[in-house]
Amino acid sequence: MDLSQIKAVIVDDDVIKGFDIRKALEFNGIRNIETVRNQEKLWEQIYRGEEKIDLIVTDMQYPLEAGGAIDEEAGFKLIERIEKEKIDIPVIVCSSLNYSIPNILGSVWYNKLSDLDSNFRKVLGRFK
C-alpha cells in the first residue's frame, strides 16, 4: 500500500512524543497526519466522517476528553470501543511501556534508546 495516501491520527497528550511519532510516520511515507490530545476529538472525527481515517496511533495514558484528567486505561478503552463498534481502522500503540496487545496492527515501544523510524517501519509493513 502507498502510505503517502493514508490519513493517520495520533492520539497523545505529550507534545514532544507526538512530534517524535509524527517524524517517524513521515519518515515512513505518511504525509497526512493529525494529532489530537484526547479521545473526544478522535470520536468526533470518526463519527463525522468528513475525512476517512486510515490509521490510529495511540498512547495508552491520556485524557478521554478535553480538560479531563489522565486516564491510565485510555488506550485500552479506545481499542475496546473500536472492536465493540466494529470500526475498521488499524491501531498502533506507541507507549513508553512495551505492550503486546492482540487484535491491533502492532506496538511500538517509545524510548530514547530505540530507533523509532525503524520500529514504525516494521509495524507499518503489516498495513494493508
| Whether the predicted model's global pTM rises above the 0.85 cut | yes
Whether pLDDT at 65 is above 80: yes
pLDDT digits (tens, 9 = 90+) for 48-62: 877 899 999 999 999
Residue 57's Cβ-side half-sphere holds a number of Cα atoms within 13 Å equal to 30
39: left (phi over 0), alpha (psi -120 to 50) or beta: alpha
Residue 8: closest CA among 28, 70, 98, 16: 28
pLDDT digits (tens, 9 = 90+) for 36-50: 999 998 999 898 877
Mean pLDDT on 50-78: 93
Interatomic CA distance for residues 48 and 42, integer angstroms: 10
String of DSSP letters for 53-119: --EEEE-SSEESSTTPPEETTHHHHHHHHHHHTT----EEEEESS----TTSSEEEE--TTS-HHHH
